[in-house]
Structure 1
Amino acid sequence: MKLHFTLETTSARAELDIEINQLVVAGWAGRDRAAIEHHIEELAAIGVPRPSTVPLFYRVSENSAVQADTIQSVGTESSGEVETFIFRAGEELYVSLASDHTDRKLESHSVALSKQICAKPIAKTAWPFAEVADHWDQLIIRSWIDENGAETLYQEGPLSSLRTPQDLIAGFTGGETVLPEKTGMICGTVGAIGGIRPSGRFTMELFDPVLNRSIRHSYTIETLPEVQ
C-alpha cells in the first residue's frame, strides 16, 4: 500500500512517499495497568471479551490503511479511535496519526475481525520521530465526534499513558529496536470520554506542546445498509 505524507520538520517541509506491506495495530497498549483496565472495562460494557494478554499485536490487511476523507462502513455500530502511527522510511522512523476505526458489533465476537473489517484512516502529515523522541510523553492525542449538532471532545490524553513506540516495536519483533521495513504500526489509544459511541464524523489530532505544532485529520463515515 502506497501512502503519501507532507513531512514537516522544524526547519523545512518535504514530500515523502512510502510503501507498507504490513500493518500492525497494537492493542491494550496502556503503560499504566489502571488505564488498561479502564479501557478493558469500557469495552466489556459493550460486550467485548477481555484480552488474553497485554499488549496484543493485531495484523490487519495493509490495504486498510487509507488517507481518504470518507470511509464506508456496514451498519451504524462502528467508531474511531485516535492513535499515533509509526512507520519506517529508509533508516528513519516517522510519526503520524491514525484512527483504529472498529466495528463494535463485531468486536463482541472477535476483536481481530472487528479491526480487519474497517478502514484505518491515516493523516497526510508526518514528523521525524527523532524530533519528538525526547519529549514523547508530553505529546497529546485528542479526538472529536459530531454529536447533537455540535463537535464534542471524545478523547484526550498524553502519550505518557501509553507504551512508547520503542517498547511496542520490541514487543512485536521479539526484542528488536527497529521497526521492520515497510511496516506501519498503530500504537494504542486513550479512553473515550462518556463511553464508546458512533458518529458520522471523526476528527483527530496529535499535538506537540513543546514545538507548538499539530497533525490533524478528519473523515466522515458513510453507512452502508446491513442487509440480512
Structure 2
Amino acid sequence: MNKIDWLKKASTIARSDMRNEMKRPQTTGERVQDYVLDVMLDEGHELDGKRWAKRSQDEFAAELGISISTFFRAISKPPFVRDTRMIEGRKLTLVRLGVTKAGGTDRHRANILSKIWREHMKQPRTTPADYGCICGLVETWPAGAAPAILSIVLKQWPAFMSGVKFEMDALAASGQGKVAFYQWPNLKVIRRFSGVAVELWKMEKPAPKAV
C-alpha cells in the first residue's frame, strides 16, 4: 500500500471515529468551523476563485442546532470570511475559512492559524516555539488554503500521522531519524511534514465538476 492509499484509508477511518476519541467537548466555534469546512469540501460553492459554504441563515442555524445570532457571532471572527449573495432567487449567506484581502499579510495569516490552534488545543496562548512553527507553515502552505489545511490536520490527526509514518519510516531506514507516533497534535511535526498535510487536504477536496 503506497502513501496515498494509506492516507485515504486512514482518512476514512478517522471520519467515522475521530469524534468518539476526542477527550473534550467542542466549543460552539469549533462546531461551526467543522461544519463550514465540511460543507466547503463536500458541496462548496465556487465564487471569486474560492470555495464557500452556501446556506440561508435559517438553514445554517438549524443544521447546527443553534440560534441565528449565535451563528453570526461565530462567523464574525477569524478564521471565517462571510458574504451575502442572491443566488437562484434566494438570499444566501456564504461562509469560508480564510483571510480577507485587507488582512493578507503573513502575520495576519499566522494569527488566524494561531487562533485555530489555540481553540482546538484549549490553550490560552500560543507559545513562541509553536508560533514559530505556524509562521513556517504560513510560508509553506497556499495562503488561501492554510486555515483549511490546519483544520483538517487537527480534525483528522490519526490520518495525518499515517502519512507521516511513511516519511518517518524512510528517514529511519536511511539513518536520518527514528520512527515515533504522536498521539496528540504537535506543531513541530506538522511543520516538518507540511507536505503530508497538503496531500491530506487535497484528498479531502471534492473533484471539480465537469463543465
Q: TM-score, normalised by structure 2?
A: 0.25
Please tell me whether Structure 1 or Structure 2 has the larger radius of gyration of its CA atoms.
2
| Higher strand residue share | 1
| Higher helix residue share | 2
Q: Which has the higher contact order (CA 8 A, sep 6+)?
A: 1
